[in-house]
Chain A
Amino acid sequence: MTPSPEVVMDIYTRMLRIRRFEEQVGKLFAEGQLPGFVHLYIGEEAVGVGVCAALRDDDYIVSTHRGHGHVIAKGGDFNRMMAELFGKATGYCKGKGGSMHIADFSIGMLGACGIVGGGIPVAVGAGFSAYYRGTDQVAVSLFGDGAANEGSFHESLNLASALKLPVIFVCENNGYGEFTPAERAMNIQDIAERAHGYGIPGVIVDGTDALAVYEAAAAAVERARRGEGPALIEAKTHRRGGHAEGEAAFLAGQQYRSPEEERAAQEKDPLARLGAFIIEREIAPASHLETLDAKIVEQVTAAVEFARSSPDPSLESLYEDTWV
């Protein structure tokens, strides 16, 4: 099922929002303006957005350390995200979470997670909750190829399958667990194969094709809503940047990807691909996309302004949000 022009434009808009936000974050980090470290989602936008476009606001997602894009894909707010990255009181988590722990429960975004594979069981719990309460909500667990080698992945797929829970496991296979290539970390080509070991469907999609991701996700979501249980989607994608921004400092000159490979990754740009599709199919003219882009850049700039002018958390807040 090809998505409607409205859905295509919605997907493009969310992807562009991620791209411009992340570019700004990369720039701020390079300038030394952000505390901690950040993991950018550039190059993988089609996965999170393709999936979230197939969800309702009351569906759940659980994210990863590379979570900015997932928050935006689910409908998150630039200002509160940027403020969180600056560690400010106005941030999503009042400055207590930071880049790897942004959550927005009001839109079913149950949090990014700094532990590889740590979010997968949480998504199973959210799916269990939907089943228990008798709603037709679904829960999506987003994780990388690295997490597919964690015990939590295997336990969670099996548990969700045994209990037939509405959970969609989405593996963003960008080919690297931090700096180690996937082929050195596993002896199979396709993580989707692992689904069969747990008695659930496993499909592979081109993770640079947002519409293909959307279609695969929509099918899995419909199936889960019908009570037919979980599915695993493996989206083959590319991390255009490094594992973390500023990684050159601790790589100390060592290379873990060849320049050819990096170039190939740059060429498979999911955003440019969808933009070309929109123009070619005359869903919108190039001028419209440019206007949209300018508007988003303005919003990002405003978010940086909002974050900078926001106060630091008060020391009194240190003991707030502890025990209920």
Chain B
Amino acid sequence: MIAAIQAALAEEMRRDPTVFLIGEDVRLGVFAGTRGLHAEFGDKRVIDTPISELAVAGTGVGAAATGLRPVVDLMFGTFLYLAFDQIANQAGAMRYMFGGQTKLPIVYMTQNGSGSSAGHHHSQSVHPFFMNMPLIKVVMPSTPYDAKGLLKAAIRDDNPVVFFNHLSLGGQRGEVPDEEYLIPLGKADIKREGADVTICAAGMMVHQSLKAAAALEADGISAEVIDLRTLKPWDEETVLASVAKTGRFIAVDESYPVCGGASEWAAVVAEKGFSDLKAAPRRISSKPVPIPFSPALEKAVIPSAEEIAAAARELMAVAAR
């Protein structure tokens, strides 16, 4: 996964001299995604900053508004809270608010999610906040292949994008071809085809959903797993087409249940795919508590493959209407 991120950044920086990387410890690369880039691109294009999330996020806004393509590394998703004004009020609105006088091609790159016993301040899934901002795009890959193609597309996108790597997927392995490719933002990927139930997820939850699907197969239940990849704009079409086929829907998201990702997906399926549903859509989210430190407790907070599989079995047991 880390090599895919490094390759995406390096390729885009080689291709376009207006692309630069700015943030705390980007030379050294704490999560290694930015490691090695300083050696190739130097001080001007790989800029270490003070720990000042708000000013660094705003530096991205001002640079983007004047012709550059910043990639702003904000390390942990929770640190985006410190940069909120610049992302929500400035990056998320300037183009519209100023009547289209500028565009804002910025990527805010960060680590999201739980599972590493990092405690609440380094373990949250903050993506719903940004899904709620009308002009921010939100990306969350689950595989190295997707991460590379999506990050390259995000850097080339003329709009602000928040790009969430998963804290616990840094070591994820997977095939990444040598030749260049892009993955368009807004397109989901069916990671596993199935006929009985649609499971919709992103990031780490794709892996939990695939595990659940494998377990369900042993029970004779065929689950389709959709990896949204982009959380805004999200691929309603692919999800609704799947629900039309399976008639059952489970939304799995690592954020909290109130106004979380799963709530959004389930709401749209209920609204637009109601006639296809054989049972009420289900949401599976993290338990609504701050993320606890102890591995035993943390594990209980995050949606698990067992929980997802259990929900699928329950849906299968609902008598057809």
Q: Which residues of A contact B (CB under 8 A)?
A: 60, 62, 91-97, 101, 103-105, 110-111, 113-115, 118, 120-130, 132-133, 139, 151-152, 155-156, 158-159, 162-163, 320-324
Contacts and interface: CB of A to CB of B under 8 A. Distances in A.
A137 B55 CA distance: 20
Q: Nearest 5 CB-CB pairs, A to B? A: A125-B62, A121-B58, A321-B100, A155-B55, A324-B158
A303 B70 CA distance: 39
B44 A128 contact: no
Contacts of A152: 54-55, 58, 85
B245 to A, nearest CB: 30
A125 B66 contact: yes
Nearest to B93: A101
Interface stretch (B45-53, B116-124, B206-214): B45-53
Nearest to B53: A155
B8 interface: no
Given A92-B99, A123-B62, A159-B50, 4 more contacts: A115-B89, A118-B90, A121-B57, A155-B55
B130 interface: no
A323 B65 contact: no
Contact of B99 (A91, A123, A130, A323): A91
Contacts of A159: 49-50, 52, 55-56, 59
Contact of B62 (A95, A101, A122, A322): A122
B81 interface: no
A158 B53 CA distance: 12
Given A121-B62, A155-B52, A93 B99 contact: yes
Which of A96, A105, A155 has its CB near the most chain B CB atoms (within 10 A)? A155
B63 A129 contact: yes
B192 interface: no
A105 B301 CA distance: 48
A14 to B, nearest CB: 22
Nearest to B82: A151
Contacts of B49: 159, 162-163
9 contacts: A118-B90, A121-B86, A122-B58, A125-B62, A126-B63, A155-B52, A163-B47, A321-B96, A324-B158
B20 A121 contact: no
B159 interface: yes
Nearest to B64: A125
Given A115-B89, A118-B89, A324 B96 contact: no
Contact of A132 (B52, B68, B102): B68
A121 B59 contact: yes
Contact of B55 (A113, A129, A156, A320): A156
B94 interface: yes
A94 B62 contact: no
Given A93-B98, A93-B99, A321-B95, A122 B61 contact: yes
B55 A124 contact: yes
Contacts of A139: 62
Contacts of B269: none
Nearest to A60: B66
B44 A132 contact: yes
Contacts of A92: 98-99, 101
A120 B158 CA distance: 23
A121 B106 CA distance: 15
Nearest to A157: B55
Contacts of A96: 96-99
B134 interface: yes
A55 to B, nearest CB: 15
B61 A121 contact: yes
A127 B63 CA distance: 8
B96 A322 contact: yes
B290 interface: no
A322 B99 contact: no
A322 B94 CA distance: 10
